[in-house]
Amino acid sequence: MSLEEKLAKIELDIQNGLKFKAADRLRNMINQYPNEPILWNRLSELYYESGFLASAGKYWILTEPTEDRIKKCVEIYEKSVNHSGTKILEDITFRGEKSKLSEFGRKKLSELESDSKKKSNYVPKFSSFTNIKKKKDYQKITFKDQLIKYGFYTLMIVILLLIIIGFFTVVNSIF
């Protein structure tokens, strides 16, 4: 599915009143396509239309405030996290490339990182999103590995059988 098809599906969800589902999809798409500002802006718009101004500000924080409502939402969000650069960086978890951000976005991200470094001596870093299935290295099981595994199970069964036979032998000798 292409980005446009996914956005069309999200718009359909919004029209059908499934805003929570649409917001989840947008957040997941931001993890997949972190360099697409249209996703960040659409999620911000969705939160703004739903009345969640702080959440809208969270996703508008790297966008240049061209309107008063954007500036107001970003201020509300920053106030809600006590202007903590660390908390903002942890919340937005930007996994994209800084070079693909707008000039304002790069500057804002640098300000947040320097604030975080100054106040908490820690700057959260987030690696790019990778699908877990792709990330795992599946080991090929060799014949030797299987032989060891089945040999161990066979040994455990033999020991268990010897214990049972020994138990019955002791019980028979007593009676």
Q: What is the pLDDT of residues 19-30, one digit of tens each?
A: 999 999 999 998
Rounded Cα distance between 96 and 119, Å, is 24
C-alpha torsion angle, residues 22, 57, 127, 9 (rounded to 10): 20
And the tokens for 169?
């032998």
Rounded Cα distance between 113 and 62, Å, is 13
Of 93-107, 129-143, 145-159, the poorest mean pLDDT is in 129-143
CA neighbor of 81 nearest in space, from 107, 49, 48, 115: 115
Helix axes 37-50, 53-60, angle to 10 degrees: 170
pLDDT digits 0-9 by tens, 85-94:
888 888 888 8
| CATH architecture of the domain with range 3-120 | Alpha Horseshoe (1.25)
Q: Where are the domains of the chain?
A: 3-120, 139-174
Provide the residue count of the chain. Answer: 175
Segment (H or E) for 128: none
Is residue 61 within 8 Å of 92, Cβ to Cβ? Answer: yes
pLDDT at 126 over 80: no
pLDDT at 84 over 70: yes
Name the percent of the chain lying above pLDDT 90. Answer: 48
Q: Is 146 exposed, middle or buried (0-12, 13-18, 19+ CB in 10 A)?
A: exposed
CB atoms within 10 A of CB 68: 8
Rounded Cα distance between 146 and 70, Å, is 61
Residue type present at position 46: L
